[in-house]
C-alpha cells in the first residue's frame, strides 16, 4: 500500500528540517504582541487578551500541545513619533515594537517551540517574520488576508503601516522602500517566490502592480470561487514546497473571513472566506507537518457591534489556531487505545440476583 498524507510528506522532507519540526510538534509558544500603532482604530491592542479569554491555551492543551505562554510584550510608544513624509503613522513605535517581537519569536523558535504571535495589528509581521527567518532562513509565507499589505511608504494612501509590512520584507522591493526612522534593524528576508496569498479581495492599484510585476502568487476570493479551496491549497504547496520542504510561516488576518463571521476587526470587506474554507486552509497546512510559526492578527474587541459579535470573532480565531495544531473536524485528536467493555451478562445477572 502506498503511503499517503503527512507522513509521506515528512519522509520526503529534507531530513533536518522535518526532524526538527517533528521534535517541536507538541511544543507551542504564545507571544502576545499588543501592537496597535500600525493602524488608526482603538482596541486591537486588546487582541491577545481577547484570544486568551476565548480559551486558546486550554484548547491547545486539549490537543496535547505543551503550551508555553510568554505573556504580552511590553510595547511603549516612542515619544515625538512624528509622521514620516507627512503621511506614514508612528514609524518609530512600530519599528521598535517589531524589533522586540522579532527577538522574542527568534528566541522561541530557537528554544524548540512553534511560535504563535497574538496580535495586534498586521504591522507586527515585520517582527514575527523577521524573527522566524533568523532561525529558518528558507521559510515560506502563507498570507491569508482580504488585503495584500504590500504598499510601500510611498504608495500608501492611509499612511497605516499595517498595510505595508510585506514591502519591507521583500528583497525585490528594497530600492522602492525608503529608510524609515525606527526601521534600521530590519533586513528584508523574503523573495517574491516565498509568498502565497489566500483570500484577497481589496487590493490597491500599486499593490496590484507589485503582485503582477514581481510574479507573486495569489489566490483571490475570485480564484477560490473558480478553483475551489482544495485546488488552491494544492497549488499553494506546489508553489512553496514543490521542489523541497521548508518551514511555513502562516500570517492569518482575521479579516480574511467574511465579516458575517468575523465582524470585530478594523477593515472588514464583504465576500470573504467561509468557516469551512478557513478550516480547510489550516487543516491542510497542519497536514504538511511543516508549520513553524503563526500570526493571528486584527481581532479588535472594541469594534464588535455586540458582545456576541466579539465572542464569535475571537472563537473563530481560536478555531483557526487550534486547527493549525491538529484539531480536526473528524475527531481523533488524541490517540485512543481501547474502548471500555461492558461487564459480562452473567455478572450483571448475578448482581441483580444479589439485589433481589
Ligand atoms: Mn492584513
Question: Among the options 46, 132, 162, 286, which is catalytic?
Answer: 162
pLDDT value, residue 344? 72
Question: Could you give the percent of the chain with pLDDT greater than 70?
Answer: 88
Q: Please report, for the chain, the start and end positions of each structural domain, with discontinuous segments joined by +.
A: 6-355
pLDDT value, residue 245? 96
Judged against a pLDDT cut of 70, whether residue 193 lies above it is answered with yes
Active site residue 298: yes
When pLDDT is cut at 50, 70 and 90, the band that residue 2 belongs to is very low
The answer to whether the annotation marks 147 as part of a ligand binding site is yes
pLDDT value, residue 119? 98
When pLDDT is cut at 50, 70 and 90, the band that residue 11 belongs to is very low
Domain 6-355 is in which class? Answer: alpha beta
Cα–Cα distance measured from residue 250 to residue 143, given in angstroms and rounded to the nearest whole number: 6
Q: What is the mean pLDDT of residues 103-107?
A: 98
Residue 158: is it exposed, middle or buried by C-beta count within 10 angstroms (0-12/13-18/19+)? middle
| Helical pair 229-241 and 275-288, crossing angle rounded to 10 deg | 30
Active site residue 223: no
Question: Could you give the percent of the chain with pLDDT greater than 90?
Answer: 85
Judged against a pLDDT cut of 50, whether residue 3 lies above it is answered with no
Rounded to the nearest whole angstrom, what is the distance from the C-alpha of residue 158 to the centroid of ligand 1?
14
Active site residue 202: no
Active site residue 255: yes
The answer to whether the annotation marks 132 as part of a ligand binding site is no
Contacts of 28 (CB under 8 A, 6+ apart): 60, 65, 66, 67, 68, 113, 114, 115, 116, 325
Cα–Cα distance measured from residue 21 to residue 266, given in angstroms and rounded to the nearest whole number: 34
Q: How much is the pTM?
A: 0.90
Q: How far is CA 315 from the centre of its chain?
A: 15
Q: What is the mean pLDDT of residues 236-259?
A: 97
How confident is the prediction for the chain on average, in pLDDT?
92
Amino acid at each position: 500500500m502506498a503511503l499517503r498524507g503527512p507522513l509521506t510528506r515528512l519522509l520526503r522532507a529534507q531530513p533536518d528540517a522535518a526532524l526538527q519540526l517533528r521534535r517541536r510538534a507538541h511544543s507551542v509558544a504564545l507571544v502576545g504582541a499588543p501592537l496597535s500603532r500600525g493602524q488608526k482604530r482603538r482596541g486591537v491592542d486588546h487582541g491577545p487578551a481577547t484570544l486568551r479569554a476565548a480559551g486558546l491555551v486550554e484548547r491547545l492543551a486539549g490537543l496535547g500541545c505543551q503550551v508555553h505562554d510568554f505573556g504580552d510584550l511590553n510595547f511603549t510608544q516612542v515619544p515625538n513619533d512624528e509622521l514620516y513624509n507627512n503621511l506614514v503613522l508612528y514609524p518609530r513605535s512600530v519599528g521598535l515594537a517589531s524589533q522586540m517581537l522579532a527577538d522574542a519569536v527568534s528566541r522561541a523558535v530557537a528554544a524548540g517551540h512553534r511560535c504563535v504571535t497574538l496580535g495586534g495589528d498586521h504591522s507586527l509581521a515585520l517582527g514575527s517574520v523577521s524573527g522566524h527567518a533568523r532561525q529558518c532562513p528558507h521559510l515560506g509565507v502563507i498570507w491569508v488576508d482580504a488585503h495584500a499589505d504590500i504598499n510601500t511608504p510611498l504608495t500608501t494612501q492611509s499612511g497605516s503601516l499595517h498595510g505595508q509590512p510585506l514591502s519591507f520584507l521583500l528583497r525585490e522591493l528594497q530600492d522602492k522602500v525608503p529608510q524609515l526612522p525606527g526601521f534600521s534593524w530590519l533586513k528584508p528576508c523574503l523573495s517574491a517566490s516565498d509568498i502565497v496569498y489566500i483570500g484577497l479581495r481589496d487590493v490597491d492599484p500599486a499593490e496590484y502592480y507589485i503582485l503582477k510585476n514581481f510574479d507573486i502568487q495569489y489566490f483571490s476570493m475570485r480564484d477560490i470561487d473558480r478553483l475551489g479551496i482544495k485546488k488552491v491549497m494544492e497549488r499553494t504547496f506546489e508553489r512553496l514546497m514543490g521542489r523541497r520542504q521548508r518551514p511555513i510561516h502562516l500570517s492569518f488576518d482575521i479579516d480574511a473571513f467574511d465579516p458575517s463571521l468575523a465582524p470585530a476587526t478594523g477593515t472588514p470587506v464583504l465576500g470573504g472566506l467561509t468557516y469551512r474554507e478557513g478550516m480547510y486552509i489550516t487543516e491542510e497546512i497542519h497536514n504538511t507537518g511543516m508549520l513553524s510559526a503563526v500570526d493571528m492578527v486584527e481581532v479588535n474587541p472594541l469594534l464588535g457591534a455586540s458582545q456576541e459579535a466579539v465572542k464569535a470573532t475571537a472563537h473563530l480565531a481560536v478555531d483557526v489556531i487550534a486547527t493549525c495544531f491538529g484539531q480536526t473536524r473528524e475527531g481523533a485528536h488524541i490517540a485512543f487505545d481501547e474502548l471500555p467493555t461492558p461487564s459480562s451478562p452473567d455478572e450483571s445477572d448475578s448482581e441483580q440476583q444479589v439485589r433481589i
